[in-house]
């Protein structure tokens, strides 16, 4: 009977650890607004698509021919520094800077054709200053000053 309970506790601990890994993987994708490429049955990423070495994160499109996301972590594995998202052809679609997982500094997002969609700055995850928005031809369509609000 004693070994039965040890077996149950082991299974419980194993399942709990697997759930945390899945949650962390999904948290990274939710921050980038990137379509999740995980296995729907397990919730875990497909093998070989993510590399994390010395606090540097790299995620690849299937086939590992094109980088999808790259950035750096701090010691607590929170985003820190410049993070860049690329399309399947290698065109940079967005760049945002982070300080300990908070958006801090300049951010730029582009249309699929590579033309700037919007740009602006963050201060501790809040938009500040003048943000400029463009159509897919590069023509300015709107400006919002978040300091005036």
Query: What's the rounded mean pLDDT across residues 40-57?
Result: 66
- My answer on whether 12 and 57 are in the same domain is no
pLDDT at residue 22, as a whole number: 40
pLDDT at residue 8, as a whole number: 52
Enclosing domain of residue 24? 1-31
Residues 12, 110: Cα–Cα separation, whole Å: 45
- Of the listed ranges 9-23, 73-87, 104-118, the least confidently predicted one is 9-23
- My answer on whether 107 and 142 are in the same domain is yes
- My answer on whether 142 and 94 are in the same domain is yes
More confident residue, 44 or 55: 55
Residue 130 belongs to a domain: yes
**What dihedral angle (degrees, nearest 10) is formed by the CA atoms of 138, 143, 111, 32?**
160
- My answer on whether 18 and 62 are in the same domain is no
pLDDT at residue 51, as a whole number: 83
Q: Count of domains in the chain?
A: 2
Query: Would you place residue 47 in the very low, low, confident or very high pLDDT band (cuts 50, 70, 90)?
Result: low
What would the pLDDT profile of 120-140 be if each residue is shown by its tens digit?
Answer: 999 999 999 999 999 999 999
Residue 43 belongs to a domain: no
Residue 13 belongs to a domain: yes
- My answer on whether 82 and 146 are in the same domain is yes
- My answer on whether 12 and 76 are in the same domain is no
pLDDT at 53 over 50: yes
- My answer on whether 90 and 130 are in the same domain is yes
Residue-wise over 14-46: b if at least 16 C-beta within 10 A, else e? Answer: eeeeeeeebeebeebbeebeeeebeeeeeeebe
Residue 39 belongs to a domain: no
pLDDT at residue 83, as a whole number: 96
Residue 36 belongs to a domain: no
């Amino acid at each position: 009977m004693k070994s039965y309970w040890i077996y149950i506790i082991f299974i419980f601990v194993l399942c709990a650890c697997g759930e945390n890994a899945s949650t962390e993987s999904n948290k990274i994708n939710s921050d980038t607004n990137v379509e999740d490429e995980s296995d729907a049955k397990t919730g875990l990423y497909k093998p070989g698509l993510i590399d994390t070495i010395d606090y540097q994160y790299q995620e690849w499109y299937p086939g590992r021919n094109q980088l999808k996301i790259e950035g750096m972590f701090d010691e607590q594995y929170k985003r820190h520094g410049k993070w860049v998202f690329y399309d399947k052809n290698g065109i940079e679609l967005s760049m945002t800077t982070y300080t300990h997982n908070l958006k801090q500094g300049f951010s730029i997002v582009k249309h699929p054709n590579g033309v700037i969609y919007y740009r602006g700055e963050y201060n501790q995850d809040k938009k500040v200053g003048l943000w400029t928005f463009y159509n897919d031809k590069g023509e300015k369509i709107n400006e919002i000053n978040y300091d005036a609000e």
